[in-house]
Structure 1
Amino acid sequence: MPGDSTLLSVFPKRLKQARLRSGLTQEQLGIQAGIDEFSASARVNQYEKGKHAPSLLTSQRLARALLVPTSFLYEEDDLLASLLAIAGRLTKEKKRLLIASADALAKE
């Protein structure tokens, strides 16, 4: 189980990665996540720099605005993070297919 310091160090990287992929500015992301428009850019910048850690509720709101699962923002493993990001964009039925395929691969 990763320690708190590991989780806090991966969060800034994943947040910025997802934000850049989404094409949102720091301000746009902050506003979409419900942060006051006058401090949105500065707060997201602080999260991306690792100077401050958001609350769980804020993390969930950021993830929702970025269309990724909250778990993506905390995942250490790059490959698993990519899988989480992809899975987060799938419909329920396609998620079931992905799980079945992954289960079959794991049994090989």
Structure 2
Amino acid sequence: MCDVNVFTKRLKEARKNVGLSQKQLGIHAGLDPSVASPRMNQYEKGTHLPDINTVGKICSVLGVPVAYLYCEDDELAELISVYDKLSEQAKKEIRSLIVNCSI
């Protein structure tokens, strides 16, 4: 279940972190320029939520994984974001460490 407030908060924060306006983000994510700003505004306010394909495009522009926008726990969201940026080798090592610690 998606907590709309979590999604909208993370979306707005991620957009601001990359220094894009709502219109710029919408255009880069493939929205028509005439609706990019109002549509992104609706997404950030939670009046409408994008479909998963649009979320994927938005996340690609923002450089964050889709899971980041939906994660309710702030610490876990940060870990998801950092993990996504790691090399495959680093990810493999971290997965191994986690599995070994949970045994």
TM range (shorter): 0.7 to 0.9
Aligned mate of 2:98, from 61, 81, 102 = 102
Most deviating of 33-42 and 98-107 = 98-107
Quote the RMSD (CA, aligned, Å).
Answer: 1.6
- Residue 17 (str. 1) matches residue 13 (str. 2): yes
Most deviating of 50-59 and 16-25 = 16-25
Gapped regions of structure 2 (runs ≥ 5) = none
Deviation at 1:20, TM superposition (A): 1.2
Q: Distance in 1 between matches of 2:19 and 2:60?
A: 15
- 1:65-89 Cα offsets, whole Å, 9 max, x none, are 1111111111111111001111121
Deviation at 1:104, TM superposition (A): 4.3
Deviation at 1:103, TM superposition (A): 3.4
TM-score by length of 2: 0.88
Deviation at 1:17, TM superposition (A): 1.3
Deviation at 1:100, TM superposition (A): 2.6
Gapped regions of structure 1 (runs ≥ 5) = none
- Residue 29 (str. 1) matches residue 25 (str. 2): yes
Residue identity opposite 1:55 in structure 2 = D
Tell me the SS of whatever aligns to 1:39. helix
Q: Distance in 2 between matches of 1:36 and 1:88?
A: 29
- 1:26-84 Cα offsets, whole Å, 9 max, x none, are 11111111111111111111111111100111111111111111111111111110011
Q: Distance in 1 between matches of 2:22 and 2:101?
A: 39
TM-score by length of 1: 0.84
Deviation at 1:92, TM superposition (A): 1.4
